[in-house]
Amino acid sequence: MKVLKFGGTSVGSVENLKRVTSIINRDNETKIVVCSAMSGVTDQLVRLTENIKFADTVAIAKNLDALEKKHFDLIAQLIQEETSRNLLYDKVSRIITQLFDISCQSYSNEVNSLIITSGETLLTEIFAEFLKESGCSVQLLYAKDFMYVESTDQPNINNVAQKLHEQIEDLPTATVYLTQGFVCRNREENISHLKRGGSDYTATIIGAAINASEVQIWTDIDGLHNNDPRYVENTHPIAHLTYNEAAELAYFGAKILHPQTVSPVVDREIPVLLKNTFNPDAQGTVISNAIGTMGLKAISAKDGITAIKIKSNRMLMAHGFLRRIFEVFDKFETAIDMITTSEIAISLTIDDTKNLEEIIKEIKQYAHITVQEDYSIICIVGEAVIDDKKTSKLFDILNHIPVRMISYGGSNNNISLLVEKERKIETLRFLNAKLFDAAPLISAN
């Protein structure tokens, strides 16, 4: 059994949903299909949560009217049979009414989750009916009934597997089981979500739960490119990445993948394919345990980085200094991205600043601390990247662009540079010219 995931752009219009249907129907193999909300819908729902925070009833009503109209228009264009259309109008209206009732409550994390996870339900209710009209044998699964992940960082795959199998067994046999991405339940069994872009993560959690033959993630680009095509010309898709390479690129900013996407399938060695809905015959990118080629593969960038320099108040307080620093960040549940150290000083970066004031207050008791914002991490990735003869060329950047930090050694497949955000695009283009312009396309062999 395969798992296929389609993102918001892929399901964002009538024409696109027809493309997705043809991809789903390419073979008769049983599959689970995971869908995001229509493009733009989750942003609408996030705005709705802001309306709720300020109890702006006029904006709430306007937002929900627009949401209903968007999905009514989709139904009118997509569904041919009148009875089915009317039933879907009723379903959408009920969901919108539920959202209005939720919007009348005081804002909370639970209210936020109930609101922002509803876009996937709206889309899949409509798409399931269209698949039926297209002659597809389909059953609709509700992620809230089986995605009991408990922890988003370490999802309980066995729990998801048990509940998913129970759901499937209670339904008539089908070729396609359609469900929602992004939606889950937390440890308290309340509705929660897998953060933005989390439908990728849904797909691989499900893939691990059913021991899928493969997980396909369909987007609007021909696989993962060797640099960011939004800013850099002459990029190309990479035919093959290892799980480690893909995880590094996703964590450090590659937009095509949710940062935790590959983690559920690594131990089960389930390949992940990145494919283009609008060019389905393109090779795309295969992510697996096999090492296709060694050396440089790709560059990605992560924005919103804060650099922190911490220097001990006592020149000889080396023993225990690092431990005390790390304990503070652990206490406030703040992950560290990059780190460089000396005997009495440490420089590090974070991308989550919600607890920064508390962190500074605590560390100031025994160290000097300097904070600088608006940085970007540029990540150069490839298995055994340091052994690639071309890698040394990246250090030419020191002659052209101020680099705040350089980090290597945490893994064998990642070298990270910290630069001011305003120099990010310049850095990406410089590295692309130095490292890739003369390089051949990376082969899967």
6 and 20 Cβ atoms separated by less than 8 Å: yes
Tokens found for residue 111: 């209210």
Please, how many CA atoms are within 13 Å of residue 69, restricted to the half-sphere of its CB?
7
193 and 117 Cβ atoms separated by less than 8 Å: yes
Is 7 labeled as ligand-binding? yes
Is 8 labeled as ligand-binding? yes
Is 230 labeled as ligand-binding? yes
Is 396 labeled as ligand-binding? no
User: What are the residues facing 192 on neighbouring strands?
Assistant: 184
Is 220 labeled as ligand-binding? yes
Is 40 labeled as ligand-binding? no
- For tokens 């100031």, the residue is 364
Is 2 labeled as ligand-binding? no
- For tokens 């893939």, the residue is 207
State the SS3 of 12-65: CCHHHHHHHHHHHCCCCCCEEEEECCCCCHHHHHHHHHHHHHCCCHHHHHHHHH
Is 132 labeled as ligand-binding? no
Cα 53 from Cα 107, distance rounded (Å): 5
Cα 193 from Cα 46, distance rounded (Å): 13
Query: In sequence order, which residues have a C-beta less than 8 Å from that of residue 442 and are 6 or more positions away?
Result: 226, 236, 238, 239, 240, 292, 293, 297
Cα 197 from Cα 207, distance rounded (Å): 17
Of 299, 239, 302, 291, residue with least CA distance to 436: 299
Cα 70 from Cα 64, distance rounded (Å): 10
Burial bucket for residue 361 (CB in 10 Å: 0-12, 13-18, 19+): exposed
Tell me, what DSSP letter sits at residue 390? G
User: What are the residues facing 273 on neighbouring strands?
Assistant: 216, 286
Of 407, 321, 319, residue with least CA distance to 363: 321
Please tell me whether residue 191 adopts helix, strand or coil conformation.
Answer: strand
Is 196 labeled as ligand-binding? no
- Dihedral sign, Cα of residue 161, residue 163, residue 166, residue 170: negative
Please state the residue numbers annotated as binding site: 5-8, 42, 120, 219-220, 230
Please state the residue numbers annotated as binding site for ATP: 5-8, 219-220, 230
Please state the residue numbers annotated as binding site for substrate: 42, 120
